[in-house]
Amino acid sequence: MTTRTYVDSNVLLAAFRASEPWASSCLAVLDDPRRTLAVSEFVRLEVLPKPSFFKREEEVRFMASVLDAAENIDASYELVQLAFEFACKYGLGSMDALHAAAAHVARVDELVTLEKPIKPLCRLREINVVSLYRLP
């Protein structure tokens, strides 16, 4: 049985930047054959525009390959409304709320992030949030 995993943008960014202290654990999530990855247009919006603008082709290829292979969760009015509810209930920033709502709507098994475990995103009760953050 595979685990459906929503991947937060910070996991993709750290995986690409091999020098990051968490790169190996992020790459392990992305490369795990027992996982089916899920992303949203919000992840795409966070990880592709800057490297595209600055013509960082290797980074664009890496991000596009992960995004294209993952299940895509479409944005909707209902998803944004749920994000607003999560933001108000847990004190989430707007993008974290959108990621949480996308993961919830998609009914994934987990949302994997590099947020510190003390951050609001990790307090959600509606979805299983797994933090890969460890003190360097």
Which residues, other chains included, contact 50 with Cβ-Cβ below 8 Å and sequence gap of 6+?
Answer: 56
Instruction: Give pLDDT, residue 18.
Output: 83
Calculate mean pLDDT across residues 111-123.
97
Instruction: Give pLDDT, residue 117.
Output: 96
Domains in the chain with CATH codes: 3-131 (3.40.50.1010)
Q: What residues does 37 pair with on adjacent strands?
A: 5
Q: What is the pLDDT of residues 98-108, one digit of tens each?
A: 999 999 999 99
C-alpha closest to that of 84 among 76, 9, 44: 76
- pTM assigned to the model: 0.95
